[in-house]
Structure 1
Amino acid sequence: MKALRFAALGDSLTEGIGDPVDGGLRGWAALLAAGLALPEEPVEFRNFAVSGAQTADVRRRQLPGALAFGPDVVSVVVGVNDTLRRTFDIHAVAAHLDAVYGAFAERGAVVLTACLPDPGAMLGLPGALARPLARRQHAVNSVVHALSKRHGAVHLHAADGDWVADRAMWSVDRLHPGERGHRLFAARFHTLLAASGMPRGPAPDVEPERPAPSRSAGFWWLATAGTGWVARRCTDLLPQLVALAADEVRHGLRGTSARLDLRASAGVAAALSALTASPDVSRATS
């Protein structure tokens, strides 16, 4: 009996950070894999995701192995780490994602994609610091929306909604879902696949097996692993983020903040137009 093959590509979200189990990490993709199994059709699941991965890493390091695996279903959820780097380039993000989505779509795989919340809001950064990150994440989400449509992907709108504001959905680091969030993420993808007509098993249970992290656990994370995480990101991003925040303040004082949004939208449109795409792709940026 041929097993359904499911490959998961991406970063720490798909690797399973925030959903530890005995012996390692689980995460939403593993939960979804269990929900795709039918009595007469088991699922062979392989997780290629790596913490810290950017879109370039997915294309260059994860894509070859995943293609060799030959998946029937593949998830590609990535992009937040790109926004947290001084080298952020929406043109490069669009080119990498187009290549990855296209490689699987051409082979007839069902491609799963998602737009994600912006990290500045999740971390509770001050407005002048958060808005540049939000603008970057919106640009990535716009590209993901457009290219998902182009390649016929099953797309999950996860950038906003009640689940983003619900602290019970998130782990102590405020950036990764906790067990409840991973379960909801998997269940929402399961619902989309069911609506598309794909045969599937029972939906993943959305109720967690373990208690949510306590407030003291959050402080402990920040004092230990969290400090290192922030330091690594700040070394790369902070000088540029400060400059972006200063630019944000200047435009705010002049009443010209809308120009920053228009500039970002123009960048998305240019990035999509640069791809070898159908004429309507560059307009599908919402």
Structure 2
Amino acid sequence: MSDGAYLRYVALGDSQTEGVGDGDDATALRGWADRLAETVARSSPGLRYANLAVRGRLAGQVHAEQLAPALALRPDLATVVAGVNDLLRPRVDVDAVAGHLESMFAALGAQGARVATLTFPDPARIAPLARPVSHRVVALNDRIKEAARRHDVVVVDASHHPVVTDPRMWSADRLHASPRGHALIAAAVAHALGVPGSDDSWTRPPLPAPAARAGRRAVGGEVRWVGSFLGPWILRRVRGRSSGDGRQAKRPDLLPVAVPTEGIR
């Protein structure tokens, strides 16, 4: 909307947008999109918000399953973030992934929504064993930015900021943001959108840099990560299963946003 106020925000995506890593399934997931909605609601008190994201979804699944419901909600603000699950597969067509994202950008924008998206950090700076995926991330980021320019989409290109790969911004699985990381993403998107009260303070590390692990300790950490997280993820892929099997969107309807009185943590 021209005055910077929004009435209907809809988030589309996978586990990161669902909020995995920020809370848990036993209580509730919060996540960066929830946090963004709370931030936007401070200057748009009538805001209603829906989150259609489901963990494990590929970009094509987000397109096929979430776009039509999102359009039906007629958002004036929408976020579309997907593609990482595709990049982690043994084979991926980056152009096809970008095509799904661009189709969603175009459809939501044509209906009048302000659309925002993210680029992705180099996974090798978070998990060294993920280095083989780095070139895919660069390729998808380039295509996201190209598609965004064609459709006037706001891009949060945070990948070059060191704070994005600070280990404290990531959960133990190194695939999902930690609560602090989700707060950082929300702040970055709010800043890119020009939400009142937002600024670039998210680009600066909140604490001194953590001490680097070296030698045997670093190797041991990588081995534990493979056994605890990467191995089970690969096993699910081999079996044709997904962490999102049987799951539905956590917030499929537009609902009022409760703004925490203590501020965004």
TM-score band w.r.t. shorter chain: 0.7 to 0.9
AA aligned to 2:156 is L
What's 1:80 paired with?
A: 84
2:18 maps to which of 15, 20, 34 = 15
Retained in 1: the 8 A contact 2:98–2:143?
A: yes
Q: Following TM superposition, by how much is the alpha carbon of 1:82 offset from its aligned partner in structure 2, in angstroms?
A: 1.1
Retained in 2: the 8 A contact 1:110–1:153?
A: yes
Alpha carbon RMSD of aligned pairs, Å? 3.0
Q: Following TM superposition, by how much is the alpha carbon of 1:233 offset from its aligned partner in structure 2, in angstroms?
A: 4.4
Kindly provide the CA deviation profile for residues 114-167 of structure 1, in whole angstroms up to 9, marking residues without a partner as x: 100233442221xxx62x411111111011000111110111012232123311
> Is 1:92 the counterpart of 2:88 in the alignment?
no
AA aligned to 2:119 is C
Change (3 A) 1:234 1:174: farther
Q: Following TM superposition, by how much is the alpha carbon of 1:14 offset from its aligned partner in structure 2, in angstroms?
A: 0.7
Structure with higher helix content: 1
2:7 maps to which of 4, 7, 13 = 4
Q: Secondary structure at the match of 2:9?
A: strand
> Is 1:122 the counterpart of 2:126 in the alignment?
yes
Q: Which has the larger radius of gyration?
A: 1
What's 1:36 paired with?
A: 40
> Is 1:58 the counterpart of 2:75 in the alignment?
no
Give the TM-score, by structure 2 length: 0.72
Write the distance in 2 (CA, Å) between the matches of 1:118 and 1:15: 21
- The gaps in structure 2 that reach 5 residues or longer are 207-220, 241-265
Retained in 2: the 8 A contact 1:80–1:119?
A: no
AA aligned to 1:16 is G
What's 2:246 paired with?
A: none
Identity %: 39
What's 2:183 paired with?
A: 183
| Greater relative contact order structure (CA < 8 Å, 6+ sep) | 2
Q: How many pairs are equivalent?
A: 218
AA aligned to 1:175 is L
Change (3 A) 1:225 1:173: closer
Write the distance in 1 (CA, Å) between the matches of 2:50 and 2:140: 26
What's 1:67 paired with?
A: 71
> Is 1:48 the counterpart of 2:61 in the alignment?
no
Change (3 A) 1:135 1:235: farther
Write the distance in 1 (CA, Å) between the matches of 2:230 and 2:117: 28
Write the distance in 1 (CA, Å) between the matches of 2:239 and 2:44: 51
